[in-house]
């Protein structure tokens, strides 16, 4: 995502949903994730839009919690550096792979 997209999305959210908080956006994200999972299971043509909804809400929640575009990019870079250096286990029955502690 480009900085301009992030700022446009978060400004629109602030103006449109004046009482929304990071937590209310995360609650909405939970609902959108359920829709996305359903669309993925059914190979729906709409899954692209559900992914977009999820990203929009997640970035909006981060902004509502005080994170800037740069903060998010830096946090992602920091976390990926940690992930690159971790050892990873085998997938569970759902295909989820966790790091070895």
β-bridge partners, 99: 88
Global pTM reads 0.90
Residues 36-60: tens digit of each pLDDT? 999 999 999 999 999 999 999 999 9
Question: Which is higher by pLDDT, 1 or 28?
Answer: 28
Residues 18-29: tens digit of each pLDDT? 999 999 999 999
Domain boundaries, the chain: 21-84
């Amino acid at each position: 995502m480009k900085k301009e997209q992030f700022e446009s999305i978060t400004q629109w959210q602030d103006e449109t949903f004046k009482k929304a908080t990071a937590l209310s956006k995360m609650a909405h994200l939970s609902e959108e994730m359920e829709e996305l999972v359903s669309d993925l299971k059914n190979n729906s043509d709409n899954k692209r839009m559900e992914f977009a909804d999820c990203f929009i809400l997640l970035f909006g929640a981060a902004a509502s919690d005080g994170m800037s575009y740069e903060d998010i990019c830096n946090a992602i870079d920091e976390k990926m550096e940690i992930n690159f250096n971790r050892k990873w286990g085998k997938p569970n029955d759902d295909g989820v792979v966790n790091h070895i502690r």
